[in-house]
Amino acid sequence: MTQARRAGAAIAAVFVSLLMVGFVAGDSTNHTVVAGDTLGGISQLYGVSVTVLTQVNHIANPDLIFPGQQIKIPSDLQGSGGREEYQVQAGDTLSEIALRSGVDLDELMAANSLNADLIFAGQTLVIPRQPPAASSPQASERPHSPELESLLEDRARAEALDPGLLKALAWVESGWQQGARSPAGAIGIMQLMPGTAEWLERDVLDQDLDEEFSAYDNVKLGARLVHILIDKTGSEDSAIAAYYQGYGTTAAGTLYAETKDYVAAVKAVRAAYWP
């Protein structure tokens, strides 16, 4: 369960609409997120700071982007390869600005002729950029991993779930990566929190499983959790929401804006790849 992770407030508006109409390879103003992408890596590729990308795409959490999501690259900044400026705010440090901007601290200091991390509010800094490597954004492709897809389908049927739902949820959660780890500690393909996995093993399945290293065990636990949430909430949409923000919050009638975006993202992935 990934209640500690929050998507950007406009992910549905950007991601869902573009996914449903299809992506155009080679569109120089958009980048299609694939498994393993980070916003920092995308910023380096196109020579646009992480700060600018989060603002333009209304991304609340720069550590959370979805496979298939479209990231808009401002055409007036893309590949500028030279000057981008930032005005220092109260409380800023040079190292934090470098991290947010996706540039090396030493390069940032050199570009501004600084010898120490000593800056002041109102100061204008030059953010150094390198021309992007020759590359074109990747078109969205249907997830392809026959063994893992078969595993997800088998466990979905064992739990009387729509296989498309489980595959889409797993794709949005981790990009089908068993090695995925969230900053909050969520694990594996289904991004299970350790406490949730322990509860499922102890009180639901009554068996010890290895959700950290076994893709089979991770998917087995995640599929059972989805089954339980559908039974408890009475609908797929509510179950998806509860998987993201927690059952208690969902049952209390609270649905965060970012949770709505998450539900829309999962449903869009299913509609696009496993209707």
141 lies in some domain? no
pLDDT of residue 135: 36
Looking at the fold, whether 224 and 195 belong to one and the same domain comes out as yes
Q: What CATH code is carried by the domain that includes residue 236?
A: 1.10.530.10
* Long-range contacts of the stretch 243-246 (C-beta < 8 A, 24+): 243/1, 243/2, 243/169, 244/1, 244/2, 244/3, 244/5, 245/3, 246/1, 246/3
pLDDT of residue 83: 54
Residue 174's contacts (CB-CB under 8 Å, 6 or more residues apart) are 35, 180, 188, 189, 190, 191
Looking at the fold, whether 206 and 237 belong to one and the same domain comes out as yes
For residue range 3-16, list pLDDT tens digits in order. Answer: 334 333 333 333 44
φ/ψ of 254, rounded to 5, equals -95, 130
pLDDT of residue 240: 96
pLDDT of residue 237: 96
Looking at the fold, whether 255 and 168 belong to one and the same domain comes out as yes
Please tell me the total count of domains within the chain: 2
Looking at the fold, whether 252 and 155 belong to one and the same domain comes out as yes
Looking at the fold, whether 167 and 222 belong to one and the same domain comes out as yes
The residues of the chain scoring below 70 in pLDDT are 1-28, 35-36, 60, 75-84, 100-102, 129-141
Looking at the fold, whether 169 and 249 belong to one and the same domain comes out as yes
Which pTM was predicted?
0.57
For residue range 24-43, list pLDDT tens digits in order. Answer: 333 347 888 776 678 877 87
Beta bridge partners of 30: 72
Nearest alpha carbon to residue 223 among 145, 169, 149: 169
Domain that holds residue 242: 146-273
Looking at the fold, whether 206 and 242 belong to one and the same domain comes out as yes
